[in-house]
Structure 1
């Protein structure tokens, strides 16, 4: 089957990581293209058999937003036709909008994929209106959580599926040995969604009783300066470190005594999946749209705390710091997440769903042709 995955870019991000992991496995038995809106190099390893193209050619696109989007729509149609694609799978709102706008022109099934809290992604009037108008036209949809799925029109829900993110192969190992490192690790983009301000304030409370611990935050983003000022104001310059991006985040995770996510909202956080797969004791805010709660589905697999609650997050850190036996047990139980997120099982679910959507649409097309007295055969 010829499959195109379409998204904004292959730069850092959860959707990008999922696409890379999936494509590297699907390319054994399928012809794959990753198509992006923006011309940026991929930060993830991609099998050399995967075709990678961008709608933004080397020539400069118009700076006018309407002209730019019309040009991207034209190029999307062209790339789908030249690749002779059987199905188009789009990630995130703008690629999904474009895919559905050209659906009649390309004549193939479109699957849309939601990756974040839809209440945040579609909170503007324009985005929500486009979603309500266009999304029911899709032949299928992949959601990360049941809570996420319930946000969308019933017509779309009925032809959708919930599939967890796959963990990368490198995290399926027994490399982690619980260290009394006194290191608390967090990973994520430095932006408002991740709410590292909450984590820093909770750590300030926590460190009054446990002054020998440090907090290391890996990631980069627009809130770096704000967070640096908060660290200084909290007198934590020798205990809280903004470490930026690193190439081998797994190596850093293996040093963690425990791992924390403090987000206000998430889809299904890959960083939490990776920490759990390694067997690291984890803490996460119980944020919408339910990803952390679906991952930490058993109270003995980690600790969930209310969103934006400094005291609750501080107490959760104290639980692990004061009871290492509890931390070890929760970390060991966290590895059970592999039954839900192993690459083999997740890829198998994707393959079955893609085939189901394609076969159903092909059957509908053939039925229409048969009713018109046209011989049933291959679409192309």
Structure 2
């Protein structure tokens, strides 16, 4: 593999975008020429090596259908000009359109599924297109075995399951002797993340542990609703919504626990990073199984049923009520640094993509 093109929606803050940045930086160090095509002309959130090419397409038409057609025509022209060894499209809804756009170019397309395939994509017509075009892709990367199991055997035969790479350079080195009484969550403020569950569970937990505060990082369409819910359930001064931040890990380092309240996820980067920092983590046992592959319940974190307010509040209480238990969870959680080391996982990605290039050359 001499040249790779990544195709994605944008490089704003997000799990798929972070993985692209890590892979591109790793591939660049191994002398592979990297280009990132973005469909939106948005600010780049993650640090990229200087010689990684960025090709933002931007909006082509006010009509969304014409805009989509013109964008993928431009992608086809760019790929034909640059002649990459392979194209990696992520997340899945981008791949669904990249596959037909590149038919006849003789460039293998690999799609990386980043979420729960039982739920995403939302639109019925997009799901139909996935069924139609996925068999034409050269390969697939899934985050979990559960996500892979959704697809036909013919797709699974040319796929691989790979976790997200963990960039150890992002993990704060500061040793925490005593954690502050703070519960933290982070992510897009949207329906998938189910932050109402976190707020409601914290409200129940807070009655027993009133010295704790709740901090939720992120931005999104539901910010106003979440703030209103917090106002209605919690005393003033016990919650905050600081928004999106580039130094999230430094901000949450030293908190008592990290909570993932999502209804569904792929493999959540923020859980991986919180565990690597030695934070006690509580996560819903949500499809498509990313948290369950990371957390051994009661050993290096706690899993609770999706949407279960009482179980989530109880898990918080277990951590707050026992320093020994909290310290055990945090210490064991740090083993993830060995398992998901970025260089090791990125090399696995490279080996798989090299195999796909070889098969299709």
TM-score range normalised by the length of the shorter chain: over 0.9
Structure-2 separation of matches of 1:73 and 1:247:
31
Alpha-carbon distance in 2 for matches of 1:178, 1:311: 30
Q: How far apart are 1:301 and its partner, in Å?
A: 0.6
What is the deviation of 1:338?
1.8
The change in CA–CA distance for 1:122 and 1:44 in structure 2 (over 3 A counts) is: same
Pair 173,229 (structure 1): closer, same or farther in 2 beyond 3 Å: closer
Over aligned residue pairs, what C-alpha RMSD do you find? 1.4
Aligned to 1:378: none
Q: What is the match of residue 40 of structure 1?
A: 42
| Superposed displacement of residue 237, structure 1 | 2.6
1:24 maps to which residue? Answer: 25
Q: Deviations over 1:225-245 (max 9, x none)?
A: 111111111133321111111
After TM superposition, the structure 1 = structure 2 runs for residues 110-259 of structure 1, keeping only pairs within 5 Å, are: 110-172=109-171, 174-259=173-258
What residue in structure 1 maps to residue 6 of structure 2?
Answer: 5
Aligned equivalents of 1:50 and 1:171: distance in 2?
A: 20
Equivalents in 2 of 1:16, 1:242: separation in Å? 23
Q: Deviation at 1:83?
A: 1.7
Task: Out of 297-306 and 191-200, give the one that drifted further.
Answer: 297-306
Distance 1:319 1:178 in 2: 19
Residue 34 of structure 1: CA displacement? 0.4
> 1:66 Cα shift?
2.7
Contact 1:178 1:280 in 2 (8 A): no
Q: Distance in 1 between matches of 2:216 and 2:172?
A: 23
How many Å apart are 1:261 and its aligned residue? 0.7
1:250-284 Cα distance to aligned partner (Å, 9 max, x none): 21121211111111111111110110011111111
Structure-to-structure mapping, 1:217-366, within 5 angstroms = 217-297=216-296, 299-362=298-361
1:176, 1:254 within 8 Å by CA — same for their partners in 2? no
Mark the runs of 5 or more structure 2 residues left unpaired by the alignment. none
| Counterpart Cα distance in 2 of 1:242 and 1:88 | 38
> Is contact 1:179–1:256 with CA below 8 Å preserved after alignment?
no
Deviation of the 1:103 alpha carbon: 2.8
Provide Cα deviations, 1:99-121, integer angstroms capped at 9, x if missing partner.
21123232111100011111221
Q: Which blocks of at least 5 consecutive residues in structure 1 are unaligned?
A: 363-380
Q: Is the 8 A contact 2:168 2:337 kept in 1?
A: no
Counterpart position of 1:74: 73
Between 1:116-125 and 1:47-56, the stretch displaced more is: 116-125
Question: Matches of 2:335 and 2:270 in 1, distance apart?
Answer: 16
In 1, Cα distance between equivalents of 2:91 and 2:150? 15
Verify the 8 A CA contact 2:93 2:121 in the aligned structure 1. no
Kept in 1: contact 2:92–2:114 (CA 8 A): no
Give the number of equivalent residue pairs: 359
Contact 1:193/1:263, CA 8 A, preserved across alignment? yes
Distance 2:125 2:265 in 1: 22
Cα distance change, pair 44–175 in 1 and its aligned pair in 2 (3 A)? same
TM-score by length of 1: 0.91
Q: Which moved more, 1:247-256 or 1:313-322?
A: 247-256
Q: What SS does the corresponding residue of 2:300 show, helix, strand or coil?
A: coil
C-alpha offsets along residues 107-142 of structure 1, whole Å, 9 cap, x if unaligned? 111100011111221343212111111011111000
TM-score normalised by L of structure 2: 0.96
Structure 1 residue 153, shift from structure 2 partner: 2.4
Which structure has the bigger radius of gyration?
1
- The 2-side partners of 1:34 and 1:184 are apart by 36
The CA distance in 2 between the partners of 1:324 and 1:171, in whole Å, is 26
Name the structure 2 match of 1:88.
87
